[in-house]
Structure 1
Amino acid sequence: MSKKVVRVMKIQFKAGQAKPGPALAGAGIQMPKFCTAFNDQTKDRMGETVPVVLTVYEDKDFSFVLKTAPASEMIKKALGVQKGSSNAGTTTVGTLSADKLKEIAEYKMPDLNAYDLDAAMKIVAGTAKNMGVKVEGIDA
């Protein structure tokens, strides 16, 4: 018999740095238990923001699924910039090579709604364009 799902939450924490607080307060789970489990599973991804899909059950038990880091964070890391352009239409903060774009798209592939690598590259290129980043070899 399966457990009854009470709610599903999408939250983000820095890898290995989850702690009880407002983000988890409304979940109705044992926060230290979640934090320990999350930190153990993400200690190899330190410095990354890790999105989590947290499923809370009626008996206050939970399960969670880790996702890949946000594309915008990976683009900023690849370019070595703190943030994207405040006016993406006119200001460019850097240029992303086609090789880096492919690398990011391959990493993000499990979480993207894309059938193949070319479609994933176009999605990541669109994110880059909205950040004010020029992408070599792609018209997105």
Structure 2
Amino acid sequence: MPPKKQSHQVTMALPAGEAPVADLGKMLGMTGVNLVALKKEYDSLTAAQRGEIVPAVITIYDDRSFQLQLKTPPTSFLIKQAVNGSKTLTRDQLRAIAQRKLPDLNTVDIDAAMRTVEGTARSMGVRVS
């Protein structure tokens, strides 16, 4: 059996545990993939993260099968969630966000990851103390 050939790859940021079929249809309808099966798989994989935005890289193959690769929530989302309306992020919160984002960053050094998150926070107008 020859290897599957990739026909499409899309990255979508969807609400965890409740992916809207309409959004999936807009981006993936032309591929012919089974949107209901895709939604069910995404929802089951992200059910524990309800209330968060979880990006997914969706790879569609020429036989209309698919593969999901989940990413960590966007840094800006995690910062907003941590500050909860205030404009200050503590060092402990910064470290927690950096540790969570580490798998998706291009570093394995926690200090470099913290600097990256801190830069995002500054660009959002959030002070790190």
The TM-score with structure 1 as length reference comes to 0.84
Q: What is the RMSD of the two structures over their aligned residues, measured on CA atoms?
A: 1.2
Instruction: Provide the residue aligned with 2:101 in structure 1.
Output: 108
Instruction: Provide the residue aligned with 1:60 in structure 2.
Output: 64
Secondary structure of the equivalent of 1:102?
helix
Instruction: Provide the residue aligned with 1:15 in structure 2.
Output: 16
By how many angstroms is 1:23 displaced?
A: 3.5
Between the two proteins, the alignment pairs up a number of residues equal to 125
- CA-to-partner distance for each residue in 1:56-89, whole Å, 9 max, x for gaps? 00001100101111110111111112xxxxxxxx
**What is the distance in 1 between the residues matched to 2:125 and 2:31?**
36
Instruction: Provide the residue aligned with 1:97 in structure 2.
Output: 90
**What is the distance in 2 between the residues matched to 1:62 and 1:131?**
35
Which has the larger share of helix? 2
The TM-score with structure 2 as length reference comes to 0.91
**What is the distance in 1 between the residues matched to 2:75 and 2:41?**
24
Change (3 A) 1:58 1:42: same
**What is the distance in 1 between the residues matched to 2:32 and 2:11?**
14
**What is the distance in 1 between the residues matched to 2:80 and 2:31?**
31
**What is the distance in 1 between the residues matched to 2:46 and 2:94?**
24
1:54-93 equivalent positions in 2, closer than 5 A? 54-81=58-85
By how many angstroms is 1:26 displaced?
A: 3.9
Secondary structure of the equivalent of 1:56?
strand
Instruction: Provide the residue aligned with 1:86 in structure 2.
Output: none
**What is the distance in 2 between the residues matched to 1:13 and 1:27?**
19
Q: Is the 8 A contact 1:19 1:32 kept in 2?
A: no
Instruction: Provide the residue aligned with 1:90 in structure 2.
Output: none
**What is the distance in 2 between the residues matched to 1:60 and 1:30?**
8
Identity between Structure 1 and Structure 2 (%): 39
Instruction: Provide the residue aligned with 1:84 in structure 2.
Output: none
- Structure 2 gaps, min length 5: none
Secondary structure of the equivalent of 1:63?
strand
Q: Is the deviation greater in 96-105 or in 16-25?
A: 16-25
Instruction: Provide the residue aligned with 2:125 in structure 1.
Output: 132
Q: Which runs of 4+ in 1 moved over 4 A?
A: none
